[in-house]
Homo-oligomer: A and B are copies of this chain.
Amino acid sequence: MQENKRNGRATGRLTLKDVAARAEVSPITASRALRGVGRVAPELVARVKEAAAELNYIPDPAARALASSHSSVVTVLVPTLSNPAFGDVLEAIHAVLLPEGFQILIGDTHYSREQEEHLLRNYLSHRPGGLIVTGFDRNEEARRLIASSGVPCVHVLELANSPGVYCVGSNQAEAGRTMANYLISKGRRRIAFVAVIDPRAMLRAEGYRRAMKDAGLYDPALELLSAVPASIKLGADLFREIVARHPDIDAIFFSNDDLAHGALFAALNMGIKVPEQISIAGYNNLEEAAFTVPPLTTIHTSRAEIGRRAAQMLLALMRGKRVDEPVVDVGYELIVRESA
């Protein structure tokens, strides 16, 4: 038996060569047939696919990536994983990309630009097939890394209009303005804005300011921003703080539902009537928003649709197809409930 390679490192893996042998074609033809590229006779394609199915062949992604410098991995960067809002987007992305043969590598930036840059540096070296990042708030170096990597990239949750930028999201500033205007239209005058400092909250703040200024109601003292990560508890704390500081406020627009939820709870415990004394509004329309006491007025955007559309756009980009609509605005909806 001189078959034994002197330098064997056989992995026992089922390879393309096995499939090719079974289909009685060359490995290259088998490769082309399975990938659906180049010109291969339909009859051969069928034979190869059959052989692959019979052998239960699964291509080796590492070998594929090495040979083609393209991998079947899509990297998704989100600011946090414990917020269900991002979970929903991720879930939709996963649902679209998985059946297309892509895997999802997640990166959690913890709302940190440094962390995001670090993740990009590392993950782009994996030559992912595609990249999905959250919003546009990142440092120059991170931008450069994305651009120079040549990896197709889609931005989610926010919108921007510059050439070569692909994004799926909603106009958060506009939505913030809509909410503030709604509160104004309900006769509220001393409307506070309470937020955690994150990029999307800051866009909502812009909309709030515009609406307040347009109505001649803007008072910078009514803005309360926190650098601590959002939580229900934080919302309760911030509610107590803003009420103590400005007893005259008649409405509070929170940058997200978690905070608003905490505020509703605190109001209930303090005997402050919502919405009679103070109207409260949130943002995101998490499921719990419909089940707070009282139910929360908020802004709804379909996170599942954002994820789905972003994944579809990325798929098109990765396949070199033309994307006619590089900016997809999924819109938003003001959900009026009892809290405001």
Binding site for B on A (CB under 8 A): 11, 58-63, 65-66, 69, 71, 73, 80-84, 86-88, 90-91, 94-95, 98, 103-108, 119, 121-123, 125-127, 231-233, 236, 258, 261-262, 265, 268, 287-288, 290-291, 293
Q: What are 23 sample pairs from A and B whose C-beta atoms fall under 8 A apart? A: A60-B66, A60-B125, A60-B127, A61-B126, A62-B63, A63-B66, A80-B87, A80-B91, A82-B91, A86-B87, A87-B87, A90-B106, A94-B107, A103-B122, A103-B123, A104-B106, A105-B106, A106-B106, A231-B287, A261-B288, A265-B293, A288-B288, A293-B293
Nearest CB in chain B: distance from A233 CB, A: 7
Partner of A62 from the list B71, B91, B258, B261 (CB cut-off 8 Å) is: B71
Nearest CB in chain B: distance from A190 CB, A: 25
Partner of A105 from the list B82, B83, B103 (CB cut-off 8 Å) is: B103
Nearest CB in chain B: distance from A200 CB, A: 18
Chain B residues with CB under 8 A of A60: 66, 125, 127
Nearest CB in chain B: distance from A83 CB, A: 7
- Docked Cα-Cα span, A127 to B11, in Å, equals 12
Nearest CB in chain B: distance from A74 CB, A: 10
Partner of A290 from the list B71, B91, B123, B232 (CB cut-off 8 Å) is: B232
Partner of A58 from the list B65, B105, B122 (CB cut-off 8 Å) is: B122
Q: What is the total number of copies of this protein in its complex?
A: 2
Partner of A291 from the list B107, B262, B290 (CB cut-off 8 Å) is: B262
Check if B232 sits within 8 Å of A288, measured CB to CB: yes
- Docked Cα-Cα span, A77 to B58, in Å, equals 20
Chain B residues with CB under 8 A of A95: 108
Check if A87 sits within 8 Å of B94, measured CB to CB: no
Closest to A11 in B: B69
- Docked Cα-Cα span, A94 to B119, in Å, equals 12
- Docked Cα-Cα span, A90 to B91, in Å, equals 14
Check if A66 sits within 8 Å of B66, measured CB to CB: yes
Nearest CB in chain B: distance from A215 CB, A: 32
Check if B84 sits within 8 Å of A82, measured CB to CB: yes
Chain B residues with CB under 8 A of A119: 98
- Docked Cα-Cα span, A83 to B86, in Å, equals 10
- Docked Cα-Cα span, A81 to B98, in Å, equals 14
Chain B residues with CB under 8 A of A61: 62, 125-126
Chain B residues with CB under 8 A of A98: 108, 119
Chain B residues with CB under 8 A of A58: 121-122, 125
Check if B83 sits within 8 Å of A87, measured CB to CB: yes
- Docked Cα-Cα span, A296 to B41, in Å, equals 65
Check if B69 sits within 8 Å of A91, measured CB to CB: no
Chain B residues with CB under 8 A of A91: 80-82, 108
Nearest CB in chain B: distance from A31 CB, A: 16
- Docked Cα-Cα span, A81 to B261, in Å, equals 22
